[in-house]
Structure 1
Amino acid sequence: MTAQSEQAAPVTGHDSPTGDAPPRSLRRVVTGSIVGTVVEYYDFGIYGYMATVLAALFFHGGDPTAALLGTLAAFAVAFFLRIPGGILFGHIGDRYGRKRALSWTIILMCLATLGIGLLPTYFTIGIWATVLLVLLRCLQGIAAGGELGGATAFVAESAPRHKRAGLTSLVNVGINLGSLAAALTALAVNSVFTPEQIEDMAWRIPFLLSLPLAFIGIWIRSRMEDTPQFEELKESGEVAKVPAVVLFRDWRPTIVRIACLSALFTGGHYVVYVYGPIHMQTVGDHTAQMSFASTCLALVFGAVVMNAAGHLSDRVGRRRVFLAAAITGLLLPLPAFALMGGSSTAGAVLGQVLLSIPVSLSIGPAFSAFAELMSARVRYSGISLGMNVAQLILGGTAPFLCAWLVDLTQVSLAPAGFFAVCAALVLLGSIRMRETAGTHLRVD
């Protein structure tokens, strides 16, 4: 069956009504997916939170703005590798099992982050420091490209269908918690050490913390069992030999839809949580400590909203919650950026919290909807590809484009336009979307 016919017909005889995992196994799957995602996104996010320090240490030049843009460009480069990373780990996950692929993503991510923490700086080895930083950032991109699709497939294929969105939204709570851990670490470093001490050696601490986090994540994921649906595929001999071929042949329209629906929680996420603290420091003249503290509050608030949105979409449907995310994403960015760029501390925090609302609303139904749109044969690969296309176009470029727009136009509200474009794509993707809440996940 092609993606076109899949979108037109709600449920077929090849949908699996009996894929739910036993309660104990389900708890392990959810816990392992959340903890693993926390570790992955701590590693991936700490680069962004330390961007202003890395700019001074790895990018030579007398212009601080140019150095910061160079650091953010390296941040964006990693997103080009997310697509091949998603295809690589998607192949492993759809061909050999979700568990095996997810174990390797966390190993690769942690090794790359540890490597950044051990790098000599530009002042020691010159341009090679910049080159090595970009290469290690690219390895992070490959690992991140295979994480979310796999974690989503793992939880969705194990969850009861009437609780699917509530449980899959917890995977993205893991993203916020990982980003929160990164922001808290950056806040602690900026609070405990002087700027001189940070530029000397203390900047390495957040990256070196990757090692103990890696052991925790790998141990927890090693205790998980593969999903009932994947085991069913193996037993029936229907595992795709080359999932990417099946994906590009039969599922192109679905990939486009997933990419559109991913716009707010990819581009919007990096606007709120990565560019947000940079905007408060460079436009609003707030301290690094204040901007990181605000980001921590917004991450906690966003985690609560996204899980509530997931449970809500189990009750009222995926499409309605997506529409609510798109509408708020069009209405809130202008007042939010006006507050974030102002001198009031309370106003800046409120602005960042407001901007997190549409992002969190879009995450609530997203992972369950994506799993419901895809077949188990290509679910890992398909979800990864759709989200990584959005990550490449919107996520990786978001901090760079926002900083560049402000520098180009000299208008502090310019990033609101980028955020609104992300919301418009979600609106476009959800208008003609058929409702998938409550359906059984496809196997073939």
Structure 2
Amino acid sequence: MDMENPRRSRDRTSQFSKRIRNRFVESLYKGFPAFRSRNFRLYIIGQVFSLSGTFMTQMAIPWLIYDLTKSAWLLGLSGFLGFLPSLILIPFSGVLSDRWDRKDLLKLVQILGISVSATLTLITFLNIAEFWSLLILSILGGVLKGLDMPVRHAFVVEMVEDRVDLSNAIAINSTMLACSRLMGPALGGLLLATVGVKFCFLYDTISYVAAILALAVMTLPASKPMQISQRISTWNRLKEGFNYVADFLPVKAIILLLALQGIFGFAHVVLLPIFAAEVLQGGEKILGWLSAAPAFGAVLSSIYLSQRSKVVGLERLIALCPGMIGVAAIAYAFSSILWVSLFLLVIMGGISTLHISCSNTVIQTIVEDSKRGRVMSFYSLSLIGMLPICNLFAGTLAHWLGAPNTMIVSGIICISASAWFYRQLPLISRSIKHEMSSLNRAEKIAA
């Protein structure tokens, strides 16, 4: 009897723990149904660590360049040249994404990425980092971004087992990006202020391991992008994708609006080192706070989107977002108080993520599977590909007019872009509803 009581107690404890765990998992899947897919869970876990290191490096390199050169123009030039390869390579990456196994492509990019990050770590630990070496490594990083982005976006669809969960998966993916943007710069600012910039690059190098391991243990069927004849040239595949986007009003308008935001709506990101050092009279710690603030807003907006299941109506949010970003950007230009600047950056980060995620969800829902990679390459081009122009625009204008006036100009253009999209909203909404109805009919016939 004495031995049975402890055994029964352990059994009851085990059963209670199992019930609690099952209820937690059930609640998790109910609120975030995309997590039912094992591969998607692995992907999110690996990427949240890897991308936090990436965003940390994206903050650390501009800070180090500005610290070495004290030049707003060179800061903008380095950003332009660092993202220029993305502008060139992203469309061709979309063709690769529609032709080859996306998981293998992502693994290749991660392995090359860890090599670039390890080189950054080495030259900073040896104290031999110079402007030109940082510029070259930034350009190599831009090459990898150009190869990575369209594949990553299209890969989300492959990992989700039930297409009904796609919008939730995109929202969770946006939340993961936002959390990484929050964690990376915040931790990076702490590392900058305490142990130095070299440990930011070391963290980034180590963080790649999580993404590589997650991809390695996934059990995916081979992707099926070979619907297009092998005899079609890469250029013709690219042209076919471009014509598809140009003839499809909702996708065309959404991508053009994203491109305008990519050029003018992210000027605050380019100018963060200048606002931290000159406007707010701060140092590394202030830069860390400023870099983390937009990510905090991004987390909030991503959580909101993860609870929204309907695609119809998102185009109205897309129309409003650039205008709200523009108003916040103009207000940010006049702020010299830290908490006000942080609040406005939270707003800009949240609205930017809302715009990007809504656009992603609408596009991924209505495009044809056979052209998904190429369409997502143009989507990525409108964001990442426009950042070189944004860097050059913001850096050059800040050199002549100052950082605050640059934010005012950017804000006015964002408001104008929002008005342009809003005028087309009735046609866009009708086209989206028509496409959704066609897709639903096709799925019923296939079933």
Q: TM > 0.5 between the two?
A: yes
Rounded to whole Å, the distance in 2 between the matches of 1:392 and 1:315 is 26
Which residue identity does 2:168 align to in structure 1? Answer: G
Distance 1:155 1:438, change over 3 A: farther
Q: C-alpha displacement at 1:329, in angstroms?
A: 2.6
Return structure 1 stretches of 4+ with deviation > 6 angstroms: 22-25, 120-123, 236-240
Q: What residue number does 1:170 align with?
A: 172
1:35-434 superposed matches below 5 A: 35-36=46-47, 39-40=50-51, 42-43=53-54, 46-57=57-68, 59=69, 64=70, 66=71, 68-119=72-123, 129-157=130-158, 158=160, 160-193=162-195, 202-226=196-220, 230-231=223-224, 234=226, 242=233, 244-249=235-240, 250-253=243-246, 256-263=252-259, 266-267=262-263, 270-276=266-272, 278-309=274-305, 311-312=307-308, 314=310, 316-339=312-335, 342=336, 344-393=337-386, 395-410=387-402, 412-422=404-414, 424-425=416-417, 428-429=420-421, 431=424, 432-433=427-428, 434=431
Which residue identity does 2:406 align to in structure 1? Answer: A
Rounded to whole Å, the distance in 1 between the matches of 2:373 and 2:293 is 32
Whether the 8 Å CA contact 1:76–1:396 is kept in 2: the answer is yes
Whether the 8 Å CA contact 2:296–2:350 is kept in 1: the answer is no
Rounded to whole Å, the distance in 2 between the matches of 1:227 and 1:319 is 34
Whether the 8 Å CA contact 1:336–1:355 is kept in 2: the answer is no
Q: What residue number does 2:15 align with?
A: none
Rounded to whole Å, the distance in 2 between the matches of 1:55 and 1:335 is 25
Q: What residue number does 1:435 align with?
A: 432
Rounded to whole Å, the distance in 2 between the matches of 1:219 and 1:123 is 31
Stretch deviating more after TM superposition (280-289 or 28-37): 28-37
Q: C-alpha displacement at 1:103, in angstroms?
A: 1.5
Rounded to whole Å, the distance in 2 between the matches of 1:252 and 1:130 is 39
Q: C-alpha displacement at 1:159, in angstroms?
A: 6.1
Distance 1:264 1:327, change over 3 A: same
Rounded to whole Å, the distance in 2 between the matches of 1:169 and 1:240 is 37
Which residue identity does 2:154 align to in structure 1? Answer: A
Rounded to whole Å, the distance in 2 between the matches of 1:240 and 1:410 is 53
Whether the 8 Å CA contact 2:179–2:295 is kept in 1: the answer is yes
Rounded to whole Å, the distance in 2 between the matches of 1:213 and 1:172 is 19
Whether the 8 Å CA contact 1:93–1:150 is kept in 2: the answer is yes
Q: C-alpha displacement at 1:219, in angstroms?
A: 0.6
Which residue identity does 1:171 align to in structure 2? Answer: N
Stretch deviating more after TM superposition (371-380 or 259-268): 259-268
Whether the 8 Å CA contact 1:165–1:365 is kept in 2: the answer is no
Q: C-alpha displacement at 1:183, in angstroms?
A: 0.8
Which residue identity does 1:281 align to in structure 2? Answer: A
Rounded to whole Å, the distance in 2 between the matches of 1:124 and 1:292 is 24
Distance 1:107 1:98, change over 3 A: same
Residue 155 of structure 1 aligns to a residue whose secondary structure is: helix
1:392-414, CA deviations, whole angstroms, 9 ceiling, x for partnerless residues?
33x23434533433331247243
Distance 1:45 1:416, change over 3 A: farther
Rounded to whole Å, the distance in 2 between the matches of 1:257 and 1:223 is 39
Which residue identity does 1:293 align to in structure 2? Answer: W
Q: What residue number does 2:11 align with?
A: none
Distance 1:142 1:316, change over 3 A: same
1:300-353, CA deviations, whole angstroms, 9 ceiling, x for partnerless residues?
2212213413644726522112022133234332223323xx1x2222211212
Q: What residue number does 2:7 align with?
A: none
Q: C-alpha displacement at 1:25, in angstroms?
A: 7.0
Q: CA RMSD in A?
A: 3.6
Q: C-alpha displacement at 1:277, in angstroms?
A: 5.1
Q: C-alpha displacement at 1:120, in angstroms?
A: 6.5
Rounded to whole Å, the distance in 1 between the matches of 2:232 and 2:47 is 27
Rounded to whole Å, the distance in 1 between the matches of 2:403 and 2:151 is 40
TM-score computed with the length of structure 1 as normaliser? 0.76
Would you say how many aligned residue pairs link Structure 1 and Structure 2? 397
Residue 377 of structure 1 aligns to a residue whose secondary structure is: helix
Rounded to whole Å, the distance in 2 between the matches of 1:384 and 1:100 is 17
Which residue identity does 1:39 align to in structure 2? Answer: S
**Structure 2, unaligned stretches of length 5 or more?**
1-32
Distance 1:74 1:240, change over 3 A: farther
Whether the 8 Å CA contact 2:56–2:200 is kept in 1: the answer is no
Matched residues, percent identical?
A: 13
Distance 1:131 1:297, change over 3 A: closer
Stretch deviating more after TM superposition (395-404 or 202-211): 395-404
Larger Rg: 2
TM-score computed with the length of structure 2 as normaliser? 0.76
Distance 1:91 1:371, change over 3 A: same
Whether the 8 Å CA contact 1:318–1:369 is kept in 2: the answer is yes
Stretch deviating more after TM superposition (152-161 or 282-291): 152-161
Whether the 8 Å CA contact 1:336–1:351 is kept in 2: the answer is yes
